[in-house]
Amino acid sequence: MQLKGTHKALFFLHKHKMARLSRTLLYLILAVILIIGSFPVGESAIGVNWGSISVHRLMPSTVVDLLKDNKIKKVKLFDADPDALKALMGSGIEVMVGIPNEMLAALSSSTDASDLWVRQNVSRYVVKGGADIRYVAVGNEPFLTSYSGQFQSFVVPALLNLQQSLVRANLAGYVKLVVPCNADAYESSLPSQGAFRPELTQIMTQLVSFLNSNGSPFIVNIYPFLSLYGNSDFPQDYAFFEGSTHPVTDGSNVYYNAFDGNLDTLVAALNKLGYGQMPIVIGEVGWPTDGAVGANLSAARAFNQGLINHVLSNKGTPLRPGVPPMDIYLFSLLDEEAKSTLPGNFERHWGIFSFDGQAKYALNLGLGNRLLKNARNVEYLPSRWCVADPSKDLTNVANHLRIACGAADCTTLDYGGSCNGIGAKGNISYAFNSYYQVQMQNAQSCDFDGLGMVTFRDPSVGDCRFLVGVTDSKNSLAFRPSHRWTTIWTSILWGMWFFLRF
């Protein structure tokens, strides 16, 4: 006879002379069983990052359907977008919500601010039939070297305040606080010698102690692509999972891929602090498909499929044999064509799906589907494009191109991009069309002083896709909920911080 959950516990009590237990003790035991049973234990899985810095934004309900159709059970958000969280309610998908770095100062200084944030962004959604929020990411890579320490002192105080707020909201046993870190938080020439940056040693000791005390994992973002992109001497095959002609030998351990080497550097760094067994989650990992040399469909597929196969094989790493990361969150679900290109043009092309939820390449996530399934019921603008009028003199087009590419995404036109080889007129047409679609195909937006014209024939060339926008009424960046609500909450929390401080 198969018995599960509470029924199994009741059978156990009966078998061991339940009648001898007092009624009070029995109720107490059953209450504990029910409480424990109400907090399901998570299983290791492949999740995704869902970013929304896009001018062509799918409806959140469409994205949630896309996640469900692909059996993706875990999703990481970079803020607490109410539209995304509402769409995730009742979906059964485990959620990590994010707090932007800019909010950390206010949250670190006031428990009133942390109470307010938890109440509005966690408690209201963690209800029966609500969103299954498991983690709150306190900041995003707040120790990044390029930030020059500007968020560093706020992290631990913000964690402590938010933890108190979760306790007051009776959510501390279910919702865990984490801090996604960039891999530049630690360093070493060999994995076994890994250590956190000297200026971070004290704060990392406090952080991992907090995480350990509260049952939270250490979250790290690992990007072999960036190692390859930023270092011409980096062995290309070492970035992938098919073996390397340039393995790294570290004593008796040999590393054939950058992912394992990077992960074990973190393991060694944690070990130096006395937390070598701390669970690790990969918060971001992936490979872009455009915008740079080496960023293409075949490389992205090879990396992501190799990564998934490697992690799901449970092989682990030399320092953690048989113990892969708890979870990995692929970066990312969708392209985000409004992201900053400061790191590189590839920043807008990390998605395993294009902006409209169409799979870019064949990928088996190991979740039941052999191939990715496309988004359903996507509503596109009419099938028409804006191109350069072939009968016009395009000599004085430079200013129009600056305007078009300032408002729209033209990163595929640059060196290494999928549209780099379509010629000068093709480049102009691509820029014109990108702007036209951002402007929701407004007729005037294809004028360009008479140099543009609307066509009903798809001008796409090979891998260079001339897009057609989607009809989400919230496409405009000015009305994107995630940006609007992040701005509002930052203003509210900063206001509270200044009021309480002065």
Distance, in Å, from the CA atom of 328 to the CA atom of 221, rounded to the nearest integer, reads 9
Other C-beta atoms lying within 10 Å of the C-beta of residue 29: 16
Q: Residue 253, SS3? A: strand
Question: Which tokens is 44 given?
Answer: 């290791």
Q: 33: domain range?
A: 5-37
**Does 487 reside within a domain?**
no
**Does 139 reside within a domain?**
yes
Q: Tell me which of 320, 348, 376 is where a domain ends.
A: 348
Distance, in Å, from the CA atom of 274 to the CA atom of 466, rounded to the nearest integer, reads 53
Q: Tell me which H or E stretch contains 135.
A: strand 132-138
Name the residue among 81, 119, 122, 78 with its Cα closest to residue 100.
78
Residues 205 and 291 in one domain: yes
- pLDDT computed for residue 371 by the predictor: 96
CATH number at residue 190: 3.20.20.80
Q: Is the CB of residue 235 less than 8 Å from the CB of residue 245? A: yes
Name the residue among 64, 5, 2 with its Cα closest to residue 40.
5
Name the residue among 117, 64, 120 with its Cα closest to residue 93.
64
Distance, in Å, from the CA atom of 98 to the CA atom of 136, rounded to the nearest integer, reads 6
**Does 479 reside within a domain?**
no
**DSSP assignment string, 171-235:** -TTTSEEE--EEGGGEE-SSGGG-EE-GGGHHHHHHHHHHHHHTTPPEEEE--HHHHHHH-TTS-
Rg (CA), the chain: 25
Reported pTM: 0.86
Residues 147 and 213 in one domain: yes
Residues 244 and 158 in one domain: yes
Q: Is the CB of residue 246 less than 8 Å from the CB of residue 254? A: no
The position carrying tokens 């109470």 is 115
- pLDDT computed for residue 177 by the predictor: 98
Sign of the Cα pseudo-torsion (271, 277, 279, 281, in order)? positive
Residues 141 and 66 in one domain: yes
Count of domains for the chain:
3
pLDDT in 10s for each residue of the chain, 502 residues: 333 343 333 333 333 433 343 444 334 333 333 333 333 333 458 999 999 999 999 999 999 999 999 999 999 999 999 999 999 999 999 999 999 999 999 999 999 999 999 999 999 999 999 999 999 999 999 999 999 999 999 999 999 999 999 999 999 999 999 999 999 999 999 999 999 999 999 999 999 999 999 999 999 999 999 999 999 899 999 999 999 999 999 999 999 999 999 999 999 999 999 999 999 999 999 999 999 999 999 999 999 999 999 999 999 999 999 999 999 999 999 999 999 999 999 999 999 999 999 999 999 999 998 999 999 999 999 999 999 999 999 999 999 999 999 999 999 999 999 999 999 999 999 999 999 999 999 999 999 999 999 999 999 999 999 999 998 644 443 333 334 444 445 445 544 544 444 4
Name the residue among 64, 97, 94 with its Cα closest to residue 78.
97
Active site residue 284: yes
What does the buried/exposed string (b/e) look like for 157-166 if buried means 16 or more CB atoms within 10 Å of the residue's CB? Answer: bbbbbbbebb
Phi, psi of 359 (to 5 degrees): -60, 135
The position carrying tokens 């401080």 is 501
**Does 358 reside within a domain?**
no
**Does 378 reside within a domain?**
no
Residues 204 and 344 in one domain: yes
**Does 357 reside within a domain?**
no
Q: How far is CA 15 from CA 3, 5, 8, 29, 62, in A?
A: 13, 16, 11, 15, 50
Residues 6+ apart with CB under 8 A from 470: 56, 57, 58, 355, 356, 378, 379, 380, 381
Q: Are strands 253-255 and 320-321 parallel, antiparallel or unpaired?
A: unpaired
Distance, in Å, from the CA atom of 20 to the CA atom of 60, rounded to the nearest integer, reads 55
Q: Is the CB of residue 92 less than 8 Å from the CB of residue 73? A: yes
Sign of the Cα pseudo-torsion (111, 75, 61, 289, in order)? positive
Question: Which tokens is 272 given?
Answer: 């130096």
Q: Residue 65, SS3? A: helix
Residues 235 and 258 in one domain: yes
Residues 134 and 211 in one domain: yes
Residues 18 and 67 in one domain: no
Distance, in Å, from the CA atom of 214 to the CA atom of 194, rounded to the nearest integer, reads 25
- pLDDT computed for residue 45 by the predictor: 85
**Does 412 reside within a domain?**
yes
Active site residue 199: no
Q: Which of 94, 141, 336, 337 is catalytic?
A: 141
- pLDDT computed for residue 406 by the predictor: 96
Q: Which of 102, 199, 242, 284 is catalytic?
A: 284
Q: Is the CB of residue 190 less than 8 Å from the CB of residue 250? A: yes
Q: Is the CB of residue 124 less than 8 Å from the CB of residue 82? A: no
Residues 332 and 456 in one domain: no
pLDDT in tens, 92-108: 999 999 999 999 999 99
Distance, in Å, from the CA atom of 345 to the CA atom of 464, rounded to the nearest integer, reads 15
Residues 273 and 422 in one domain: no
Residues 116 and 233 in one domain: yes
Q: Are strands 452-455 and 385-388 parallel, antiparallel or unpaired?
A: antiparallel
Q: Is the CB of residue 33 less than 8 Å from the CB of residue 6? A: yes
Residues 31 and 52 in one domain: no
**Does 264 reside within a domain?**
yes
Q: Is the CB of residue 183 less than 8 Å from the CB of residue 144? A: no
